[in-house]
Structures are given as structure tokens and as C-alpha cells.
């Protein structure tokens, strides 16, 4: 009888224990990684711009860097400012599906415009950086990031841009900021530098 009572108490205690939500789902800041906040049930880097370092903006829970902030405002260049082939050609990030380095149809259309513009402006010394979301091993993501950068380079070379003018490298998951599928999709990219 005592054993049954103890067993029943143990089952009740175990059932009543609160489980910590699975990341990035959260109920409070303590469920998130260091430096993150719980907002609307999800761990995010920021809620407002004041949560980001160096005055960087908070965009959909992610602190954007100066470089990303600049790329958002490339189309807002003042009429009297000096422009380069890179600003004139509107070099946007090329996004990839999960675990893939295959160019999507919209990426191909964008790259055709980029290649035509770069050729007409005589752009030289193009650098493409491959990025990944944080899933997968560090080594795997470094390789995948390089494959993504090389896929973009191959397209541009096939379009007529000399191979020696294009440098590629990978940052893998080093600069990944996503916390869910929607934001991870923004981490999976080829970036023009």
C-alpha cells in the first residue's frame, strides 16, 4: 500500500513539473539565450531599437548591422551623391532554400539584371560571401556557404563577367541571427560585398 501511494505521489509530482518550452518558444526571458528577450512567445534579439548595440535598428526581432541597414537604404541615395556600380546595380542578397545552393527562379532573374548592370558599368573586384542559418555543423555550414557563393559566381561568369574579378568566401553560420524558420530564411544567402 505504501509503495502504491509513493508511486502515485511521484507520478503526480512528475506530471506537475513545468517543462521548459523548446527554444525559440518561450514564456519568459529566462527561457531564451543570454542577451535575448521573450516577446510574443518567441525568443528574439530585440524588441525595440534601443535593445540593439551601436544604434542599429531592430527589424522583426533581429538587430540589423550597419551593412544591412545600408543595403535597405541603397535605393534612398541622394541625387547629388557620388554613386558606384554597386549602388547603381542594386546588388541585393540572393536567398537560398534550406540545405541548398541551387539558385531559385527569382534569384536567377535578379542575377541577370545584376550581371547586365555590372557589365555595363565596368564593375571590377566583386566579392560574394556565402552565409547559412545556424542548423548543421560549423564545418558543413562553411562548405555550404562556399557552395552558395560559388553558385552565384558561376552564374555571373556564364553571363560574361570575368572569373578573376569575382572572389568568393564563406562565413557559414558566423553571422546568423535567426531564431525561427522565417528569420533563418534570411540567414541563408549570398551577399555582395
CATH number of the domain that residue 190 is part of:
3.30.1330.60
Residues belonging to the chain = 193
CB 149 within 8 A of CB 130: yes
Peptide bond into 170 cis (omega under 30): no
Domain that holds residue 146: 84-193
Number of domains in the chain: 2
Compute the radius of gyration of the chain from its Cα atoms.
Answer: 23
Residue 15 lies in a domain: no
> In Å, what is the CA distance from 103 to each residue of 151, 161, 180?
7, 18, 22
Do 45 and 95 belong to one domain? no
pLDDT tens column, 78-96: 333 333 445 567 788 999 9
The pTM assigned to this predicted structure is 0.57
Do 57 and 88 belong to one domain? no
Do 60 and 91 belong to one domain? no
Do 166 and 111 belong to one domain? yes
pLDDT of residue 79: 32
Residue 10 lies in a domain: no
Cell readout for 38 is: 521573450
Mind listing the pLDDT tens digit of every residue in the chain (193 residues)? 666 666 666 656 555 555 555 656 778 888 777 777 887 777 777 888 777 777 778 776 777 765 555 544 443 333 333 334 455 677 889 999 999 999 999 999 999 999 998 888 887 789 999 999 999 899 999 999 999 999 999 999 999 999 999 999 999 999 998 889 898 999 999 999 8
Do 54 and 115 belong to one domain? no
103 phi, psi to nearest 5 deg: -75, 130
Do 177 and 89 belong to one domain? yes
Do 100 and 167 belong to one domain? yes
Do 120 and 190 belong to one domain? yes
Contacts with 43 (C-beta within 8 Å, 6 or more apart), sequence order = 23, 24, 25, 26, 31, 32, 33, 36, 37, 179
pLDDT of residue 163: 92
Amino acid at each position: 500500500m505504501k509503495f502504491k501511494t509513493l508511486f502515485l505521489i511521484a507520478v503526480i509530482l512528475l506530471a506537475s513539473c513545468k517543462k521548459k518550452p523548446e527554444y525559440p518558444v518561450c514564456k519568459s526571458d529566462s527561457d531564451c539565450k543570454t542577451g535575448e528577450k521573450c516577446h510574443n512567445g518567441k525568443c528574439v534579439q530585440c524588441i525595440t531599437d534601443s535593445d540593439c548595440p551601436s544604434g542599429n535598428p531592430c527589424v522583426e526581432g533581429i538587430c540589423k548591422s550597419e551593412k544591412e541597414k545600408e543595403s535597405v537604404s541603397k535605393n534612398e541615395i541622394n541625387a547629388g551623391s557620388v554613386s558606384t556600380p554597386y549602388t547603381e546595380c542594386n546588388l541585393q542578397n540572393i536567398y537560398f532554400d534550406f540545405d541548398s545552393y541551387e539558385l531559385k527562379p527569382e534569384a536567377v532573374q535578379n542575377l541577370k539584371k545584376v550581371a547586365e548592370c555590372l557589365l555595363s558599368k565596368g564593375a571590377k573586384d566583386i566579392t560574394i560571401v556565402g552565409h547559412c542559418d545556424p542548423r548543421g555543423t560549423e564545418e558543413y555550414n562553411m562548405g555550404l556557404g562556399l557552395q552558395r557563393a560559388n553558385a552565384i559566381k558561376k552564374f555571373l561568369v556564364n553571363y560574361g563577367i570575368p572569373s578573376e574579378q569575382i572572389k568568393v568566401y564563406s562565413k557559414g553560420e558566423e553571422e546568423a541571427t535567426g531564431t525561427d524558420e522565417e528569420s533563418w530564411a534570411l540567414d541563408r544567402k549570398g551577399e555582395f560585398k
